[in-house]
Structure 1
């Protein structure tokens, strides 16, 4: 998002809330043909959609009109939301503790086209 777009959103739209990652959520005044007001998010840092917690995602996509509370965890069994960790040091590697085969087994035969 360009700096001009961010400025327009911050000036012309109402700040609705902020999540635990520092993302800011805005809502406009005009209503579209479906009766929805425009909703926007300005990401803190890099624009990464997986950084949006589930309740804010539901609000952005008009699943609910209820603005999420500051503490999103309503039950003890709920864990904090994590963004996509692929490519980071915290990414899940299923074979991290196992030995990885470095050589192809002897019964393997490479395919040759005819």
Structure 2
């Protein structure tokens, strides 16, 4: 977070809530409740937009009027939110990836590779 963001938040921001990752969400108290509220997030750790859970994303982009309720229970079919892991050691690598040995199971069924005539 830059000094300017910190100062703007101290002068004009009102804390609305936090998420499970520790990110803090703010609204500009000068235009709170008006048609076009200014909303922003201060990330805990590295600023990575994929660390914003879907319910907070909807609030940030004014798709919903009220911030998510703290401690609300997810639906039984919902999985916990995961940030984008691309470029990290925990990134998904498919079975044929070169970092996974470069070998995958043979194709089955009606697959026939195209060969030029």
Structure 1 length normalisation: TM-score?
0.75
Aligned to 1:56: 56
Within-5 A mapping of 1:32-71? 35-71=35-71
Asked if the contact 2:95/2:102 (under 8 Å) is kept, the reply is yes
Contact 1:30 1:38 survives alignment (8 Å): no
Conserved? CA contact 2:12–2:30, under 8 Å: no
Return closer, same or farther for 1:71/1:79 CA change in 2, 3 Å cut-off: farther
Structure 2: distance between partners of 1:37 and 1:78: 29
Please tell me the root mean square deviation across aligned C-alpha atoms, in Å: 2.4
Matches of 2:101 and 2:13, distance apart in 1: 54
Q: Distance in 2 between matches of 1:81 and 1:42?
A: 18
Provide the secondary structure at the position in 1 that maps to 2:95.
coil
Q: Which runs of 4+ in 1 moved over 4 A?
A: 96-99
The question of 1:100 aligning with 2:98 is answered: no
Alpha-carbon shift at residue 73 of structure 1 (Å): 4.3
Give unmatched runs, 5+ long, in structure 2. Answer: 104-117
| SS of 1:9 mapped into structure 2 | helix
Report the TM-score, using the length of structure 2 for normalisation: 0.74
